[in-house]
Amino acid sequence: MCGIVGYIGKSSAIPILIDALKKLEYRGYDSAGIAVLNLNKLKVYKIRGRIKDLEKILPDLESHIGVGHTRWSTHGRPNDINAHPHTSGNIAVVHNGIIENYQKLKEKLLIEKKYKFVSETDTEVIAHLINYYYNGNLVESVKNALSELEGSYAIAVICKDSPDLIVAARKDSPLIVGVGENENFVASDIPAVLKYTKKIIYLDDYDIAIIKKDGIEFFNNGNPITKEINTVEWDEKAAEKAGYDHFMLKEIHEQPTSVFETLRGRISELDGTVNLDIKLAPDQVIELNKIEIIACGTSYNAALVGKYLFEILAGIPTTIEYASEFRYSNPILDVKALVIAITQSGETADTLAAIREAKSYQCKTLAITNVVGSTITREMSDVLYTRAGPEIGVAATKTFTAQLASLYLLAIYIGKIRYKLNTEQSKQLLINLKKVSGQIQKILEEENIQKIQECASEFANSKDYFFIGRHINYPIALEGALKLKEISYIHAEGYPAGELKHGPIALISEGVPVVAIATQGPTYEKIISNIKEVKARDACVIAIAYTSDTEIEKYVDIVLRIPDTHYLLSPILSTVVLQLLAYYTAKERNCNIDKPKNLAKSVTVE
């Protein structure tokens, strides 16, 4: 996820571009840049680092048209060369999205058209493609270039030979146009332009906007269209969170997109295949005798889900280790083992230390991370990127579900190669996995959220909370407890439900809330028995269950519903409910949700 902006009008462009980019820095902050037209020349300034670093290299020059970008890397490491804008001839492009066929297009432009590439990005392909089609008409060249792209994009384009217009377009990545007086704007999100105008036009997929100082034209699939102007009533501070009270809530609501992006271009449900851009070859996969997963915190809970997936879908013995303990555990690893490190930031000190130890065993290594160019990506032999975009709230939400989505992909990929999964089985899993984004959106509907809010309010003053689950739901019980304790400061514990009778049930007393993850699957009857055990001790039971489950209400006090899905995929959906329960509990208690006490977003010390 990146942020793009564009300005054309009566005022000086550079201060407006910089100010707008600062409002979008939550979308990406590993590099930044702008391109402006000055004295009939295209001037580009870009740098690795944040927007404040970009400001230091900008000269004092006059311009009334320009585009800008703040980057969150998806293709290519964070550095000056990979920073946007990207240029080809007299054309400059800023882009947010992922071009899935960029490698094919790059080879075509390199070999057939002799274009020189200087970056590792997919965006440079767009710039060269527009340049290839350019015949004096910028709009037509953009249209022709877009017709060859597969994937997602929101772009803004300027050209030295067309100093009176910006061409913008979108497909599957957000883009808005801000309407001013003798000036107009384009941006990834409303906060970028709210200081200058509250008149907003939302672009839809396949829209192209021709933006001039004194007017805007819109086309869709080549046909001129009329777009509605909307008046936004947000203030600037609220707009940074897109109207949400906290970044955490905003990021919970971004999960339909982050899961979709993590899956995009990687699955083919028609033939049951997973396409991962990793070096782990089929012959190496077949030889694997063990998987060891290393992680901390929320990532550890994702790793526990991964253990079930690799053993069930791929038939490989899998062990999990806290990164902080791995170095002292004398692991049994060899060249036929795969060590997977899961880390949101790619900078977690304990995880980095653990994988350095693991590499001494000559085993294969793979990182699952959200940050391109982070330390772990340089130290592992393989990397599988989640595509969640920047996460501002300290409590992990969308990065966790993106990690789960990545683990499903990897487990199906390995299971298919090892013939543990046949084509029909993998097809069914992928069909259901592709539905998950829409099912998360269903959970986020107002009616469901209201019920979760009511539940959170009822138990907000509880001193203790317990979460129970069995099989693949046990890690989600741990994650639900972790989220609640992180942001609400209520003592919360997660347990395998079958372990209650071995000690924890002594803590159950009248009125204590117990969250039971009771989705139907191989252990459904067992979790019902565990629910009866805690109800016999007068606990208040909150169940997470499928929409179709008509039995569960007989045994519990409150039911929070999720859409029906394959039992192995239910952890993603249950997680979203638990995130919302934790959020609204913390809000009821007036806690600092985005910055809970004693916690940091990235733990970079041991």
DSSP state of 525: H
DSSP state of 198: -
Q: Is 145 helix (H, G, I), strand (E, B) or coil?
A: helix
Would you tell me how many other CB atoms lie within 10 Å of the CB of residue 171?
Answer: 19
Query: Could you identify the residue written with the tokens 């252990």?
Result: 523
Distances in Å between the Cα of 455 and the Cα atoms of 252, 395, 462 are 18, 21, 12
d(CA 579, CA 96): 28
Q: For residue 515, give the H/E element and its range.
A: strand 513-517
Q: Is 268 helix (H, G, I), strand (E, B) or coil?
A: strand
Contact 273, 425 (CB under 8 A): no
d(CA 394, CA 96): 24
- Tell me whether residue 356 is exposed, middle or buried, using C-beta atoms within 10 angstroms of its C-beta: 0 to 12, 13 to 18, 19 or more: exposed
Catalytic residue chosen out of the listed positions 195, 435, 535, 601 = 601
d(CA 318, CA 577): 28
Say whether 195 is catalytic. no
Phi-psi category of residue 268: left, alpha or beta, with phi > 0 → left and psi -120 to 50 → alpha: beta
DSSP state of 61: -
d(CA 593, CA 247): 9
Catalytic residue chosen out of the listed positions 2, 159, 363, 540 = 2
Tokens for 503? Answer: 């000690």
Q: What are phi and psi of 23, to 5 degrees?
A: -70, -15
- Tell me whether residue 224 is exposed, middle or buried, using C-beta atoms within 10 angstroms of its C-beta: 0 to 12, 13 to 18, 19 or more: exposed
The partner residues of 153 in beta bridges, in order of sequence, read 171, 172
Contacts of 17 (CB under 8 A, 6+ apart): 5, 6, 7, 34, 36, 66, 67, 68
DSSP state of 177: E
Is omega for the bond preceding 163 within 30 degrees of 0, making it cis?
no
Contacts of 46 (CB under 8 A, 6+ apart): 31, 32, 33, 34, 54, 69, 80, 83, 84, 85
**524-537 residues labelled b (16+ CB within 10 A) or e (exposed):** beebbebbebbbee
Q: Which of 372, 410, 375, 402 is nearest to 386 (CA)?
A: 402
Say whether 363 is catalytic. no
Q: Is 233 helix (H, G, I), strand (E, B) or coil?
A: coil
Contact 478, 296 (CB under 8 A): no
d(CA 524, CA 529): 9
Q: Is 246 helix (H, G, I), strand (E, B) or coil?
A: coil
Q: Which residues are tagged catalytic?
A: 2, 601
